[in-house]
Amino acid sequence: MKNLISMRDVSSEDILKLINLAVKIEKKEVNVDFTGKLAALLFFEPSTRTHFSFETAVKKLGGNTFSMSGTSSTSVKKGETLSDTLMTISMYADIIVMRHVIEGAARFAAETVDIPVINAGDGTNQHPTQAMLDLYSIQKTQGSLKNLTIGMVGDLRLGRTVHSLSQALSDFNPKFYFASPSHLQMPNYIKDDLDKKGIVYHEIEDIKEVMHELDIMYVTRIQKERFAVLEDYEKVKDSYIITKKLLEDVKDNFKVLHPLPRVNEITKDVDDTEYAYYFQQARNGVFMRQAIITSLLNLKY
Ligand code: NCD
């Protein structure tokens, strides 16, 4: 792997290798040295966890970063093309991490520059490093990625994390429940991929009836900023609110995951239950991102 653009390009072997490396990095069983390495973190869209966990990941291992958050202080404002910006950045950095509002922007970046590119989210399309840290979190809490029953809840159309995660899990024989408002269902191209692999998925509106079956519930935010008409968002914004009460008869191994940020889709009383795992999930992101950079830059350990 030279770049990480889409989970569609990542084999189950690659996934397991990255998880194994993240485990070793977290347990400090290996010493990866990023000293002298420079990562460019280019965020054309807002970010908290992805941006700061990449920064943490690089800096904790002795490397350095430079960052862009929005375009207001860059030459993009003067009309510079994305390709010229990327070419210039590639003259300075060893690796580019990029989040962009346009689907396909990361693939374009990878085709433009010679250094490795990591997609940190491209519009509604993909968010592969999130999927990798989600898989790491699933492996840690369930002991395996195989044969799990996973409920994905919320905005499955515009939320990119569920696209990457469902594709990534499809090599591990999952059973999916997709719970969303009818206008925000999982896109057909994802469902077609699942159909081709013979994966069982059920599209439902009410998550309550399947709670007792789930190993993982992956909750997502309704993607307000991606709605063209605000009233359409207002109609669906409270479709799913996960409360402590909803978790009454879940399995012992059950965990709630969320890529964060949450708005109102998980109430605060869930945080104190043994099922809440979303903040540990964010922490896992640092080790997984260290593993990804190590692998793409071919660093010795
Ligand atoms: C997600 C994203 O940017 O797609 N956030 C993240 O990276 N953890 C989820 C979201 O914004 O809803």
pLDDT digits (tens, 9 = 90+) for 9-27: 999 999 999 999 999 999 9
Q: Are residues 119 and 168 in the same domain?
A: no
Q: Is any atom of ligand 1 closer than 6 Å to the C-beta of 65?
A: no
Number of domains in the chain: 2
- Residue-level pLDDT at 74: 78
Both 247 and 156 in one domain: the answer is yes
Q: What is the pTM of this model?
A: 0.97
Q: Is 195 within 8 Å of 234 (Cβ atoms)?
A: no
User: By alpha-carbon position, which residue is closest to atom 6 of ligand 1?
Assistant: 259
> CA-to-CA distance for 127 and 123, rounded, in angstroms?
9
* pLDDT value for 73: 74
Identify whether 19 is part of a domain: yes
Active-site residue, 283 included: no
Q: Do residue 256 and residue 202 come from a single domain? A: yes
pLDDT of residue 246: 97
Residue 99: inside a domain:
yes
**What pLDDT does 60 receive?**
95
Ligand 1 center–CA 223 separation, angstroms:
9
- Vertex 229, ends 218 and 235: CA angle to 5°? 55
Q: Which residue's CA is minimally distant from atom 12 of ligand 1?
A: 221
- Angle CA 248–156–154, to nearest 5: 35
Q: Encoding tokens for residue 190?
A: 């994802």
Distance of CA 196 to the CA centre of its chain: 23
- 160 and 79 within one domain: no
The reply to whether ligand 1 has any atom less than 6 angstroms from the CB of 3 is no
Q: Given the structure tokens 């991929």, which residue do they identify?
A: 193
φ, ψ at 200 (rounded to 5°): -85, 125
**Full residue range of the structural domain in which residue 39 is found:** 7-127+284-296
- Quick check: CB of 127 below 6 Å from ligand 1? yes
- Domain co-membership, 271 together with 176: yes
Same domain, 264 and 292: no
Measured from the CB, is residue 51 less than 6 Å from ligand 1? no
Which residue ranges in the chain fall short of pLDDT 50? none
Identify the CATH number of the domain in which residue 193 sits: 3.40.50.1370
Q: Which of 130, 160, 223, 227 to mutate to test the pocket of ligand 1 (most atoms within 8 A of CB)?
A: 130
- Whether ligand 1 lies within 6 angstroms of the CB of 50 is answered as yes
Domain identity same for 138 and 62: no
Q: Which amino acid is at 127?
A: H
**Long-range contacts made by residues 249-255, C-beta under 8 angstroms, separation at least 24?**
249/211, 249/212, 250/211, 250/212, 250/214, 250/275, 251/212, 251/213, 251/214, 251/215, 253/141, 253/142, 253/215, 254/214, 254/215, 254/216, 254/217, 255/137, 255/141, 255/142, 255/215, 255/216, 255/217
Q: Is residue 1 part of a domain?
A: no
Look at residue 70 in the predicted model and tell me its pLDDT. Answer: 87
